[in-house]
Structure 1
């Protein structure tokens, strides 16, 4: 498992280079409508899954994306590597590994290990509607199963379980010419979760060990076919008594030079994490799509 998901990503990247351009589809979905890959491996924004599916394949094509993301607040650093594959624009399957470093707390508390990891296995089903056409927005139902690989620190701060499963429902719509003549994308997601800091600090806690329904939202304006700017918000549960867990937000700019490559940069406001407040910092993600 030590090479997962890097080996998966490498295979997907080779496929992106080797397969003919028709698979990515000049006649497939519009540029940027595959979104970005969020930190748990699903297609969407950086911190929020959308109803869109990874890649650019249409109903008779397959597609996918591989990505690497970095978030650094100074006190914490998160690295995520993953890949997603979409079958005929209907089902998305994803894998991601998150590597979470906490150098400041390691120094303050004398922790034996300052880095731990989490694996995320995801699936998303497009239920109905379309991102661009028709009367309904696109709806998708998703699931993300997360498992800690190093549970000592989450257990020490009060987490109950080293694994958990999130379920979410997303609705996304691209409104053509709706923002001063530019395309506007809106997304709303409702998630059922027990995760502490998206699972990086385990699942359930001394304060609460029940599922909570939380809201996540995104809005983006496509300045032109290759550039987009937007904002996101992610509500969080608050299960652990030793420290508050704040909602997350970000403001991002995304560049889609073509259907193969995307680069997303953001300023992320993560609030308090494990007693350390003011955890704001830069987010950078690079992805290749098919």
Structure 2
């Protein structure tokens, strides 16, 4: 795991250096370009694509026009009661047509019930195969993305109702394979495809976006893809899920808005998978021993859709900040995960 994490960090560092080098060299070759209107490229999503905080837009990240290249790097921190996530990423926009991105996420779980299971399974020498520690459980996921603008222009064709439409793809690799399977997922890595349509309505200074995502992800992939039941029956059925963003420009450098991201039900009602051990029975045993009723707390809650309310501020085209209030509902065995989000986005 340490080698994997070090590899991911080295890849991120190399990508960041590549973005800087490309953009610096491009400036000398008249490739670098930042001619688009402030904030119209979107900010850095948790998947690395240009868009809102969680929803990818049809716009190509950065401020490049069709005559140039623009690169970005970003850091995002999400703070919820039961988990904290840090995202580090880079992306590059080519001629306002193609976008390539990479982001790595590190998630820390603070679940006392799972920690207790980790303590017990480690005592029984089952901990290594389950990926659960007695404390400080962590997940890491790397996401590679590409987006291609198909047709339309979100900004400069205000006299037309035709939106900008882009096709995107994401490949997500969750490094914490054992823990993901313990949480009930079928796969720790998978692909997603999305189609996004974005339009800026200049008369009311408002951007609207709709994205259809084809995926089997649980919590955006942070807890894997698909599901496995206790009897070993595993499925990875992908479905089309809807996502919506609305952003209103209150000043030329400040926007407020909200997002909704539809989620699936793969793990709803599923107990933790402890190498085939019935956690319902384990919970009853612990209750008889006076350790509390863990039956409910070891069962996955109904996965909630993601909602957020955000404010984005860009003092110039080189840096922007986003703060948001997140309403993520239930995540795995943790209910009511509402909290805060902070992101800074650097554009080169």
The bucket for the TM-score relative to the shorter chain is over 0.9
Identify the residue that residue 122 of structure 1 maps to in structure 2: 145
Aligned partner (choices 181, 196, 203) of residue 177 of structure 1: 203
Sort the Cα spacing of 1:200 and 1:133 in 2 relative to 1 into closer, same or farther, 3 A. Answer: same
Q: Aligned pair 1:42/2:65, yes or no?
A: no
Q: Using the TM superposition, give the Cα deviation of residue 44 of structure 1 relative to its aligned residue in structure 2, in angstroms.
A: 0.1
Aligned counterpart, 2:190:
164
The match for 2:221 is 199
> d(CA) in 1 for partners of 2:262 and 2:26?
40
Q: 1:238 aligns with which of 251, 265, 269?
A: 265
Deviation at 1:103, TM superposition (A): 2.2
Question: Does residue 225 in structure 1 map to residue 283 in structure 2?
Answer: no
Equivalent residue for 2:317? 259
Q: Are residue 30 (structure 1) and residue 37 (structure 2) matched?
A: yes
Residues 9, 67 of structure 1: 8 Å contact kept: no
Specify whether residues 23 and 33 from structure 1 end up closer, same or farther in structure 2 by C-alpha distance, changes over 3 A only: farther
- Give the CA RMSD over aligned residues: 1.9
Alignment check: 8 A CA contact 1:81 1:97 kept: yes
Q: State the distance in 1 between where 2:224 and 2:322 align.
A: 28
Q: Which has the higher helix share?
A: 2
Q: Counterpart of 1:177 in 2: which secondary structure?
A: helix
Kindly name which structure, 1 or 2, has the bigger radius of gyration based on alpha carbons.
2
**Runs of 5+ in structure 1 lacking a partner?**
none
Q: How many angstroms does 1:5 deviate by? A: 1.4
Q: Please state if 1:138 is matched with 2:138.
A: no
Shift of 1:75: 1.1
Q: Is the 8 A contact 1:24 1:56 kept in 2?
A: no
Q: Which has the higher contact order (CA 8 A, sep 6+)?
A: 1
Alpha-carbon offset, residue 19 of structure 1: 6.4
1:275 alignment counterpart: 333
- The yes-or-no answer on 1:210 pairing with 2:237 is yes
Q: Which runs of 5+ in 2 are unaligned?
A: 1-6, 119-131, 230-234, 271-299
Report the Cα distance in structure 1 between the residues aligned to 2:32 and 2:343, rounded to whole angstroms: 20
Kindly tell me the number of residue pairs found equivalent between the two proteins: 285
Deviations 1:106-160 (A, max 9, x none): 5343331611201100000000000123322110000001011111111012211
* Aligned-partner SS, 1:229: strand
Give the distance between the partners of 2:164 and 2:181, measured in 1 at CA.
39
Residue 79 of structure 1: aligned partner:
86
How far apart are 1:257 and its partner, in Å? 0.6
Where do residues 63-78 of structure 1 align in structure 2 (5 Å cutoff)?
Answer: 63-78=70-85
User: 1:6 offset after TM fit, Å?
Assistant: 3.4
